[in-house]
Chains A and B, each alone.
Chain A
């Protein structure tokens, strides 16, 4: 088929479309609605997913190495008599500390690995924050604050004070915004903490951070490692956790497994630690695509119907075109052009509608309360989804248009021309 022939098919298709504007517009609205809703849904859902992923990532490291003292272990009986029939009832954990032995050597080894971005040694302790006669439960983390910043980008989470203040002030503490509010303390105030072992210490608040998750901001504080070692009455090498940030987050699982077999200690990657979050976002994705797909299928049926009707009304035209020398494929082209035009124009309008809807959703105030700090709905504006949307829409209309178009191509002109 030559170019002229395409031009002719195009102009005939065009006349068909504009001579029945109502029908054409209704078919387009179907696609517009489908794609518009797809964009709005996907933008909101992926926006939510990205948001939850981001705040989860700020609270959990890519890989976390610790000594899991509650892990199941084989009993002495089984070690001595491995072949025998052993029965040990309700074995309790051994009395051992959660200390990571040779922590500094482990850290040095991991730092040499160029797949890692940052390695942060940590130790944590349960504490009570004393507020007058009230004691609030919390958690204090002993950290190398700048290393910790590499992992969790703490600098951007600071509401008051600077991270460096912790380095220059040994007895300092950087507090979560939630607990600071409950204790009614500001930067520069002093706060008294007590460990479960009964050790009490007065610390100066040098900064306040807000990560955005209530469960973290309401309990956590950061202090220097040596300070927490002092509070716990432990020596200089006492480290309970090592947090690692890797270059490619999706390799974390493999690296974690490698580290566990190398250092024996329990090594947990972010995917395992946040399995519920990942399941949640997967389910949201499935729902989004299922709903959008359904909408587009419905739009597809609309196009199928309208094209079928058009072809039924144009039977005589098709017959005469074929008599005049239009081949089946020329006739098919005429109707395929119509459905693709409907799909493309309807789809492009749909993208605009989708963008407007997403934009409006992004303006809706959302009060996350204490749990998460969020002012508006998180909405994604990635161009990727707009590309998917238009491809999706045009494909659906092409499939919906193909069947009636093929029917038109196979019309037997004699039946029509003789039938009257």
Chain B
């Protein structure tokens, strides 16, 4: 990670159109800079383009105009395979519906992105995965199949998985959207701790105002434009 540059992520003039059923501009000239260690929430009404923006930022959506740069690397125009490699190395994901692989244990789920990266040996990866699970208070469930875990537990495993490769940025699409308030609070506290203690950068799309209010920075979107933040 380049410690010199203050920002982790920057977009310049990101514009995107939907063509189905008719041409529609969903993102209008978005300029956004996210600094290291920032806990940023992206809010707005349904259809304002906040999720679309996040998928552009996630590098999974490449069909846009403008520039995207993460961790000092310009990502616009790169090939899908390079982007996949980049995501593996630099971005962690937490989704609304957990999306763990149901046939694998919690530990295996956390290990998979690291095994894919292949930076450490298997035993080191296992050690690191247990470390991350311990950080999230899930160590005693590490050998359970994820389909046997509760929603809140699954989301904590998902966060451990997002952390395993020490990403520059964690992206969440409604990370608490499917959780009750108790579990929402746990997940929020974990995010908060990650940003304040470990200087982890987090971008979370949410429509939970309670959640958004407590984050460092709220970016509000409306009609494809950033209206606040």
Chain B residues with CB below 8 A from A330, complex form: 84, 116
Chain B residues with CB below 8 A from A324, complex form: 87-88, 93, 112-113, 116, 161
Q: Pick from A5, A316, A327, A414: contact of B60, CB below 8 A.
A: A414
| Contact of B153 with A by CB under 8 A | no
Chain B residues with CB below 8 A from A325, complex form: 84-89, 113, 116-117
| Contact of A70 with B by CB under 8 A | no
Chain A residues with CB below 8 A from B104, complex form: 15
Q: How far is the CA of A316 from the CA of B113 in the complex (A)?
A: 16
For window 88-127 of B, CB contacts with A under 8 Å fall at 88-89, 93, 95-97, 99-104, 112-113, 115-118
Q: Are the CB atoms of B55 and A418 closer together than 8 Å?
A: yes
Q: Which of B51, B87, B89 has the most CB of A within 10 A?
A: B87
Q: How far is the CA of A321 from the CA of B95 in the complex (A)?
A: 13
Closest partner residue, chain B, to A15 (CB atom): B103
Q: Are the CB atoms of B60 and A8 closer together than 8 Å?
A: no
Chain B residues with CB below 8 A from A95, complex form: none
| Contact of A326 with B by CB under 8 A | yes
Q: How far is the CA of A317 from the CA of B102 in the complex (A)?
A: 9
Q: Are the CB atoms of B55 and A414 closer together than 8 Å?
A: yes
| Contact of B38 with A by CB under 8 A | no
| Contact of B73 with A by CB under 8 A | no
Chain B residues with CB below 8 A from A8, complex form: 112, 115-116
Q: How far is the CA of A8 from the CA of B113 in the complex (A)?
A: 10
Determine how close the nearest CB of chain A comes to the CB of B112; give it in whole angstroms: 7
Q: Are the CB atoms of B55 and A2 closer together than 8 Å?
A: no
Determine how close the nearest CB of chain A comes to the CB of B40; give it in whole angstroms: 19
Closest partner residue, chain B, to A325 (CB atom): B88
Chain B residues with CB below 8 A from A321, complex form: 101, 112
| Contact of A16 with B by CB under 8 A | yes
For window 331-390 of A, CB contacts with B under 8 Å fall at none
Chain A residues with CB below 8 A from B116, complex form: 4-5, 8, 324-326, 330
Determine how close the nearest CB of chain B comes to the CB of A316; give it in whole angstroms: 6
| Contact of B80 with A by CB under 8 A | yes
| Contact of B168 with A by CB under 8 A | no
Q: How far is the CA of A329 from the CA of B51 in the complex (A)?
A: 27
Q: How far is the CA of A304 from the CA of B176 in the complex (A)?
A: 38
| Contact of A420 with B by CB under 8 A | yes
Closest partner residue, chain B, to A3 (CB atom): B118
Chain B residues with CB below 8 A from A317, complex form: 99, 101-102
| Contact of A328 with B by CB under 8 A | yes
Chain A residues with CB below 8 A from B103, complex form: 15-16, 19
Q: 1/0 per position for A1-24, CB-CB distance to B under 8 A?
A: 010110110001001100100000
Closest partner residue, chain A, to B178 (CB atom): A420
Number of residues in B with C-beta < 8 Å to the partner?
31
Q: How far is the CA of A321 from the CA of B89 in the complex (A)?
A: 13
Chain B residues with CB below 8 A from A327, complex form: 80-81, 84-85
Q: Are the CB atoms of A329 and B118 closer together than 8 Å?
A: no
Q: How far is the CA of A413 from the CA of B61 in the complex (A)?
A: 9
Q: How far is the CA of A412 from the CA of B118 in the complex (A)?
A: 25
Known contacts A8-B116, A414-B55; is A323 also within 8 Å of B87 by CB? yes
| Contact of B58 with A by CB under 8 A | yes
Known contacts A320-B99, A414-B60; is A326 also within 8 Å of B118 by CB? no
| Contact of A417 with B by CB under 8 A | yes
Q: How far is the CA of A15 from the CA of B111 in the complex (A)?
A: 15
Q: How far is the CA of A340 from the CA of B42 in the complex (A)?
A: 45
Q: Are the CB atoms of B118 and A413 closer together than 8 Å?
A: no
Q: Are the CB atoms of A420 and B96 closer together than 8 Å?
A: yes
Known contacts A4-B115, A15-B103; is A328 also within 8 Å of B81 by CB? yes
Determine how close the nearest CB of chain A comes to the CB of B92; give it in whole angstroms: 8
Q: How far is the CA of A19 from the CA of B161 in the complex (A)?
A: 22
Q: Are the CB atoms of B97 and A420 closer together than 8 Å?
A: yes
Q: How far is the CA of A96 from the CA of B96 in the complex (A)?
A: 103
Q: How far is the CA of A326 from the CA of B101 in the complex (A)?
A: 14
Closest partner residue, chain A, to B95 (CB atom): A417
Chain A residues with CB below 8 A from B87, complex form: 323-325
Q: 1/0 per position for A404-420, CB-CB distance to B under 8 A?
A: 00000000011001101
| Contact of A319 with B by CB under 8 A | yes
Q: Are the CB atoms of B85 and A323 closer together than 8 Å?
A: no
Q: Are the CB atoms of B55 and A319 closer together than 8 Å?
A: no
Q: How far is the CA of A418 from the CA of B177 in the complex (A)?
A: 13
Chain B residues with CB below 8 A from A7, complex form: 115
For window 118-163 of A, CB contacts with B under 8 Å fall at none
Chain B residues with CB below 8 A from A15, complex form: 101, 103-104
Q: 1/0 per position for B152-176, CB-CB distance to A under 8 A?
A: 0000000001000000000001000
| Contact of A99 with B by CB under 8 A | no
Closest partner residue, chain A, to B100 (CB atom): A320
Closest partner residue, chain B, to A20 (CB atom): B103
Q: Which of B55, B80, B101, B102 has the most CB of A within 10 A?
A: B101
Chain A residues with CB below 8 A from B84, complex form: 322, 325-328, 330
Determine how close the nearest CB of chain A comes to the CB of B47; give it in whole angstroms: 12
Q: 1/0 per position for B8-30, CB-CB distance to A under 8 A?
A: 00000000000000000000000
Q: Are the CB atoms of B99 and A316 closer together than 8 Å?
A: yes
Chain B residues with CB below 8 A from A414, complex form: 55, 60-61
Closest partner residue, chain A, to B88 (CB atom): A325
Q: How far is the CA of A215 from the CA of B102 in the complex (A)?
A: 72
For window 37-56 of B, CB contacts with A under 8 Å fall at 51, 55
Determine how close the nearest CB of chain B comes to the CB of A417; give it in whole angstroms: 6
Q: A12-B101, A325-B86, A330-B116 are in contact. List 4 more A-B contacts (CB 8 A).
A: A15-B103, A323-B95, A327-B85, A417-B60
- Please provide the 4 A-B residue pairs with the shortest distance between their CB atoms, ordered closest to farther: A325-B88, A320-B99, A327-B84, A4-B118
Sample of 15 A–B contacts (CB below 8 Å):
A2-B118, A4-B118, A8-B115, A12-B112, A316-B97, A319-B99, A321-B101, A324-B93, A325-B113, A325-B116, A327-B84, A330-B116, A417-B173, A418-B173, A420-B97
